[in-house]
Structure 1
Amino acid sequence: MAKMELRCHLGMGLFSLLFGLFGLSCCTDQVPVLIWSTESSLWQSQDTPSVGHVVSGSQLLSYLSCAFNNGPHSVLLFLQDKLSLDDFTVYGGAFGNQQDNAFPNLENALESAPSTLVLPSVDWQASSALPALLQEKLATSPLYIEPSTLSQLRLNETIASLLVLRLPYSTSTHLMSARDVLHGNDDVIGQVLNIMKSQTVPYTAIFTAPRPSRVIREVSLAFENIGRSLLQAPVKPTPAPYPPVMFNRTSSEPCILLWAKGLNLTYSENTPSEARLDLTSRTFGSGASVSLDGSSCSQSLATLVLNYGNIANFSGFRLTFVMSSSYSEVSAREWFKLQYVEIGYNGTVATFNGSNQIYAPRNYSFHCESITSKWNPLLVPFNSTNPAIQWTFSFSEFQIQGFNVTGVNFSYASDCATFFTPGIWMGLVTTLLMTLILTYGLHMIMHLKTMDRFDDPKGPSISVPQNE
């Protein structure tokens, strides 16, 4: 889109235009791609996508080829961790509200650039492959930079260069809000563009992300009341009292999450006295004293080891959760299962089998309101000689995830509750009873019969002869 054509549509701001066209869209499988260049008239021969159209990988390649064939050979790729169109509509200057605008530098760059192309909906798989696609088109390796290192580089406009600048994205940090993080990214973009302007090197800049964000879930639902609200105050979700236990594969990538409202174990060795262990405060919260030494995670196996040290009369006490992942040909998807739980103490290991009841899709977490070894147990001893028969445990609001962990929050939970809950059974039985009563009443009414003859009070009475 040429500069003159773009500005005639920017009366209320570029992102307010995007909101007007696509603000009602609820698709979260697309990522916006914003491209601008110091060269004019790059996309005049290209038709802009229609409203609601999702740009595929081949179409994106067509737009990029048009830019690289006629435009500069220096490319700036601003690659944010996550991005969605709702980031602009919620945190941008929609409807002329520039006071809380998180993208002033980005909007200014788009408005002032000689050539600009805005693709609001691009298939996220195509956007995730954009770095490799640019590397192939430019025939050069990407150079990951910071604003401080860019000022020390001297770019040559005759040599192709691909400069990649990674930007964070977060909506759950306790230190900064999502608006502050996006505003900080916009400041970085402004610094980089100022450096490029000072070097007077022509360039093409791209701002996108490899995957969509979840701003619809995290922002819009906070302002909308779902379900009935008549004569009822809005219900605010109660935050968890403490974060889950996280085992990190690296310093910043958690791969196992565990949370519970209560972890209680009872040990009885055929004696009147019992040892009761409440591990909740030792496992979660600020007073946690548990070590995760021995834990590991891979593509097919995840092991979480909670080492408590010496507790009561037990030395070297630990809990071990072992999960495995496998592909199911019937459902054509990956599933994970909690294979077993081990209780280690005094050199002895008590093992509880998962009994093939604790499982969920690989990209889900598993949640259960109560896991106990007494009533309808989900974890049972391997055999009668196993030391596990001396233990009784009770986990309340138990939730665990060992695969496809994308942050500090659990994925969608697969609950252990069965479909036929006590409430559903009560409703079914009551409905069946009322149906039987109604059927019996209709049956009686349909089989009523009248008498063949009636007494006539004006005529002679009916006499019935009697045999003496």
Structure 2
Amino acid sequence: MEGVFRTVVVICSFCFVLSTKVPVLLWSPTRSLVDLPQSNAGKTIVSTDFSQQYLKPLITGKDGNLVVFLQDKLSLQDFTQHADVYNPESDGGAFKNVKGFMDELSSLSLPSVHLPSLAIDDIIKTFKGKVHQVKDHDASKVDLDHQVPNLIIVKLTSISESPNEAEGFKKNDEVIGKVTGQLAKQGVKYTALYTGQSSQAADPGQARRKRSLLSVDAAADMPVTTVANGTLFNSSCIMLYFRSINVDYMNTTYNISNPKMVKNATYSCDNTTASLSFNYALGQLNMMMDLEMAVSNVSGYWSISNASVELDSQKYEIIMDSVSAPVGFSYHCSSLARLTGNTTDNNFTVSFLGFQLQPFGLTDHKFDDGWDCIPFFTELIWMGLLSMLVVLLILLFGFSMLTSVITQDRFDDPKGKTITVNVSE
């Protein structure tokens, strides 16, 4: 696979790489990787597809040994800066060993995968063989069981904490070469995987906020502003936008669209859970809305696990489990109409117009790609397809009738004798 780093960078040189979209490199000295799906230019593989289509086939069978080299950050820009990718005579720069493996062995490069570390964590929890953590980057001390698959995890030195980024990548590359060499001496059949937890170094202040699960006042860290005729909640880990909220209560409709109506907005979040609360003053009526969101480690999707609205000291649970998207995507819907909950009170519904939400994986206070609520086949598309199907059946029936018409094979000659056809004919 000559020039794999140049190929990867050229394919995605115009891609906007977010912190959750990480490149993954695979190689194996003992098996072919041609059976794995190829990644098209510009395509991002979600963590669930990465787990099902790439990781699980690699850990099947007693020779399904997978070696995972995981570091804190890895991006295409890292290869551009430190691998000397534009030099045809380059030996790989800081990625000398990795480049050699990718060029000489059966290999596969995936330029953009959403949270591959999340998929790896899921595989570790469900792995039916033996999981080994390599200590001190010495694989010779690992006791491998050759009768079952082995999952070997090698945590590389943190790049963000290294005083020199290029030297950090170089040392990790040497560790990769050392560990694979030790496995080769033991005659282990394996497939190696090299990736990172994110494509950008974590901001220390932001990392502290996430670990301590702070709950802060909106005026301090969560500005509420008007953007494109709507209300925007913009924090370090939760973003919510809507044009308006319509509340039907006691035969009266209340419209919420002015951000100045927001009172006491607070939020809290970590890597797997998040919550958002805000109050509205609707004249004499006070409304409080709570949204709780969580990430499923099984599916790799986040969703609203609990949502409630409190009106006049009466709390209503509303069903918003349809608000779900892969981690690293925002959820978008033009209209979430007439949401109700598990209550017998039919005098209460909530509708969101121009709704967009993202609780995890934010980059520079911007929404990531939208996961739209409209499915691929809408009701209008189904009606169009059914109408076309009916027309097609009518045409087929008409053509079949035409083909069954028998052309007569006898004709009268005005100068000759009249044709007489017997009844038997």
TM-score by length of 2: 0.49
Structure number, greater radius of gyration:
1
- Considering Cα pairs closer than 8 Å and 6+ residues apart, tell me whether 1 or 2 has the greater RCO: 2
Structure that is richer in strand per residue? 2
